[in-house]
Amino acid sequence: MSKVKLLRYLANLGYGSRRDVLAMFADGRIGDAAGEALYGDDVRAHDDIRIDGEPLDPAPGLLLMLNKPTGYTCSTKDQGRLIYDLLPRRFRQRDPVVSPVGRLDRDTSGLLLMTDDGTLLHRIIAPKSKLPKVYRARLAGDLRGDEGPVFASGTLMLEGEKTPLLPAELEVLSAREARLTLHEGRYHQVRRMFAAVGNHVEALHRERIGGLDLGDLPEGEWRLLGDDERVRLFAA
């Protein structure tokens, strides 16, 4: 790519303004894998470019998995702790920004996908995708025993809405703990579903989206997803 295109490319990856990147060129901080400084119209691929001797951040079109702890908000601007505090600082400066695919509220932990690919984001969250999302809930009161049929009926209406929920599957784990599989993503849906049957969610954790789960990813950590995992996401 030409120097002008490389300036724009690095700026869009969050390395600073074009003026900042130009200064990095002037200081000899931008080179290739062989350690040679890049000047003029030299052509390099993403994986060949180095800044201060280090490979570039992931190329555009990334998809990552974050094991979100409670207490973090899925936002770039809200007060308090943000999910971006758990990622490399440049990620929030990228253009397009690395955005959460759907959201987990501040008090919900677990699997959160993030991408800078708008087409992929909309494919995942589109209602017609109906990707299953699996949550583990700890409840304030004992389960009554009729929640499973109610959630699976396809007739449950949430307060303030005009369309019934799609059928959802409930797995009882103990008197006050359950796993719930949804095929849509409405606002605070799991909490509102249990409220509709007279209970209250005390803790909520998302375990799976489509064919992906957190595996051994520690809380607060993230990792990039490969092509095979993108396939698994939609294979559920």
Active site members: 105
| Neighbour-count burial of 40, counting CB atoms closer than 10 A to its CB (0-12 exposed, 13-18 middle, 19+ buried) | exposed
- As a whole number of angstroms, the distance between CA 98 and CA 106 comes to 19
Residue 143: other Cβ atoms inside 10 A: 19
- As a whole number of angstroms, the distance between CA 55 and CA 99 comes to 22
Residue 35: other Cβ atoms inside 10 A: 8
CA 175 and chain centroid, separation: 31
User: What is the biggest distance separating any 2 CA atoms in the chain, rounded to whole angstroms?
Assistant: 71
- As a whole number of angstroms, the distance between CA 229 and CA 211 comes to 8
